[in-house]
């Protein structure tokens, strides 16, 4: 412990966000981070407790508590306080391939499980991580380090999201020749086109990809494996194949009027917005136009919030975010004790901006869409909503979601964005490789492993587990790489943690 009394002497201090009405004028990251000396004192707040739940990554009550990557949090928090930034980076990079991503987009499971948060405020671990990695780039610690020995073994990674990049990075470190195939025009997958620029500026991804290229990884964009390139070709050209294509089949809404013009999926809405921003600063108009329109977003998660923030930046007339579940409590319930993940209501940046612009929270709980109302030209004009709640089913006695009689309401709406999650992997990819999938359309593997039903084909990330967090996808990619390496070499020295 760098300073035993640090958590008593220093208050938690985090980056200051721009005021909502200022930050909605641009699509850039909007936090002003602490100077290094003040950030160093935040490292002193780490208690180096006997049981560091922050790095446990265990499942409690069906939820993950602590970091799934098992980051060596107390170690690098102490090194931050001591001012040993290079060793702090070395310790961080042992377990996390991409702290430049996680320090921006991770919901900080480590902080929610921090012992300091039991009777006070958690250590600002996520911001310490940000300081470590950005300092590492500035000082050159994060520069390319190509492997000194090559094995001659060739591995194809299909998909360049966090799990694919993590697997590629690990396998390249081992000395294998890795080629990453991405169907989009830019590398990054979910990181590039699924997360808006104000949460993760895309030059941050490009910066890391450039280093990975310098370390020997080959990136191929604009190639849709399963369509442009056959699975058989890949298996002929490479010794092993890793499928990391994500859970990219969006869940739809089945309601009358679904064919109305003006309905889109969140993944397409966010991707089109980011691509237009990067390609032309929106001059090409190749994005869903919401300026002056009433927007309804179906889905209350992070993606729905990202759509709220994006719509406000484009000058929507109004925005409503519909969520089927009840509002979570503002404080932990007695049946949700620390160090479980806190099931409390979180008002994220998009909702903050909606409150600042429109004077109210955009979220409407326990509600779903009953009908899409079209005008004479087939354009979406309104949505009919209905309240829903859990009711006991007479025959089975089970609690089921049902409509509340007489609760129908009509909202003006010219654009509706479906942010209701994903159903699993896309069929054309799994069919191309003839891999087995489970009932949720996730790719099946051997128990506690990553080898699919097809010899030499492995899988990792959301394609394997279903939609999850970036930090979990990185963990999956690391574990998958270890198994691939073992199958290639007969042994492995790749560390998971």
Instruction: Kindly report, residue by residue over 79-93, the tens digit of the pLDDT.
Output: 999 999 999 999 999
Contacts of 107 (CB under 8 A, 6+ apart): 302, 469
Q: Whole-angstrom Cα distance, residue 133 to residue 455?
A: 38
pLDDT of res. 497: 61
Mean pLDDT of 92-115: 97
Q: Whole-angstrom Cα distance, residue 203 to residue 446?
A: 38
Q: What is the pLDDT of residues 302-359, one digit of tens each?
A: 999 999 999 999 999 999 999 999 999 999 999 999 999 999 999 999 999 999 999 9
Return mean pLDDT, the chain.
Answer: 96
Antiparallel, parallel or unpaired: β 363-364 and 318-322: parallel
Residues in the chain: 497
Q: Are 325 and 348 in contact (CB under 8 A)?
A: no
DSSP letter at 296 equals: E
Q: Whole-angstrom Cα distance, residue 307 to residue 288?
A: 11
Local confidence band at 1 (pLDDT 50, 70, 90 cut-offs): low
Question: By C-alpha distance, which of 26, 97, 215, 193 is closest to 473?
Answer: 97
Antiparallel, parallel or unpaired: β 154-158 and 177-182: parallel
Prediction pTM value: 0.96
Domains of the chain (ranges; CATH) run 6-139 (1.10.1060.10), 154-248+423-489 (3.50.50.60), 263-418 (3.50.50.60)
Greater model confidence, 496 or 442: 442
């Amino acid at each position: 412990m760098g300073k035993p009394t640090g958590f008593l002497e220093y208050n938690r201090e985090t980056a200051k966000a721009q005021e909502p009405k200022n930050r909605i004028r641009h699509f850039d990251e909007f936090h002003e981070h602490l100077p290094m000396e003040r950030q160093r004192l935040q490292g002193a707040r780490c208690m180096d407790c006997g049981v560091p739940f922050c790095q446990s990554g265990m499942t409690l009550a069906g939820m993950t508590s602590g970091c799934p990557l098992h980051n060596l949090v107390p170690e690098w928090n102490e090194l931050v306080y001591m001012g040993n930034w290079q060793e702090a980076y070395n310790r961080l990079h042992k377990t996390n391939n991409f702290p430049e991503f996680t320090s921006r987009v991770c919901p900080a499971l480590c902080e929610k499980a921090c012992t300091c948060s039991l009777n006070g405020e958690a250590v600002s671990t996520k911001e310490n991580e940000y300081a470590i990695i950005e300092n590492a780039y500035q000082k050159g610690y994060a520069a390319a380090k190509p492997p000194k020995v090559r094995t001659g073994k060739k591995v194809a990674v299909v998909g360049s999201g966090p799990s694919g990049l993590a697997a590629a990075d690990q396998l390249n470190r081992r000395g294998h020749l890795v080629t990453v195939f991405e169907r989009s025009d830019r590398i990054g997958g979910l990181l590039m086109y699924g997360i808006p620029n104000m949460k993760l500026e895309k030059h941050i991804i490009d910066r890391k990809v450039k280093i990975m290229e310098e370390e020997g990884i080959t990136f191929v964009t604009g190639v849709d494996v399963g369509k442009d390139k056959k699975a058989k070709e890949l298996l002929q050209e490479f010794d092993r194949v890793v499928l990391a294509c994500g859970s990219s089949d969006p869940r739809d809404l089945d309601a009358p009027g679904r064919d109305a013009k003006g309905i889109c999926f969140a993944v397409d809405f966010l991707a089109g917005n980011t691509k237009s921003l990067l390609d032309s600063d929106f001059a090409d108009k190749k994005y869903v136009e919401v300026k002056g329109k009433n927007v309804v977003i179906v889905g209350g998660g992070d993606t729905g919030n990202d759509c709220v923030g994006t719509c406000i930046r484009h000058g929507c007339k109004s925005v409503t975010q519909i969520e089927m579940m009840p509002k979570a409590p503002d404080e932990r319930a007695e049946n949700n004790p620390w160090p479980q993940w806190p099931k409390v209501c979180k008002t994220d940046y998009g909702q903050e901006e909606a409150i600042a612009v429109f004077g109210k929270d955009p979220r409407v709980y326990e509600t779903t869409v009953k009908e899409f109302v079209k005008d004479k030209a087939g354009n979406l004009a309104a949505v009919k909503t209905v309240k829903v709640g859990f009711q006991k089913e007479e025959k089975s006695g089970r609690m089921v979601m049902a409509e509340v009689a007489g609760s129908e309401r009509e909202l003006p709406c010219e654009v509706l964005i479906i942010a209701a999650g994903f159903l699993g992997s896309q069929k054309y990819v799994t069919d191309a490789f003839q891999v087995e999938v489970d009932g949720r359309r996730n790719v099946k593997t051997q128990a506690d492993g990553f080898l699919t039903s097809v010899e030499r084909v492995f899988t990792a990330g959301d394609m394997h587990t279903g939609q999850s967090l970036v930090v979990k996808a990185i963990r999956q990619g690391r574990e998958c790489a270890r198994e691939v390496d073992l199958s290639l070499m007969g042994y492995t020295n790749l560390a998971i943690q």
